[in-house]
Amino acid sequence: MFPIDARGVQLATVFGRGISLILNVLAASGNPVPIEMALIYHIFNGKLFHSKYLQAKGGANPGQLLEVDRVSCKTEYPVIYFLFCRLQCILFILVGGTCNC
């Protein structure tokens, strides 16, 4: 078990509200995508989110957060690597760190 951080819970809540907004938009547009595909429990794991948040807050590098081999990812999937690097920067900025990507 890991300690619960209030900021991590707040960020997870914001994410959940965003998914709720997406559900409302889907409903307003006549549900072009099956509603079951947009439910939060298909795309969000709170324990995983919180553990990754705590790792990022502790200064983990992108490879540790993503649990991948950074070199092979960078050479084989440069676009995905770039996007993950940007997401990592956003996460570091949210926890008060600096981006070195």
For the chain, which residues score pLDDT lower than 70? Answer: 1, 63, 68-77, 80-81, 98-101
What pLDDT score does 69 carry?
A: 59
CA 20 to CA 35: how far, in whole Å?
11
Residues 60/53, Cβ–Cβ less than 8 Å: no
Listed in sequence order, the DSSP H helices in the chain are 6-28, 40-43, 46-57, 62-66, 70-76, 78-94
How is the chain split into domains, by residue range? 6-94
CA 18 to CA 40: how far, in whole Å?
10
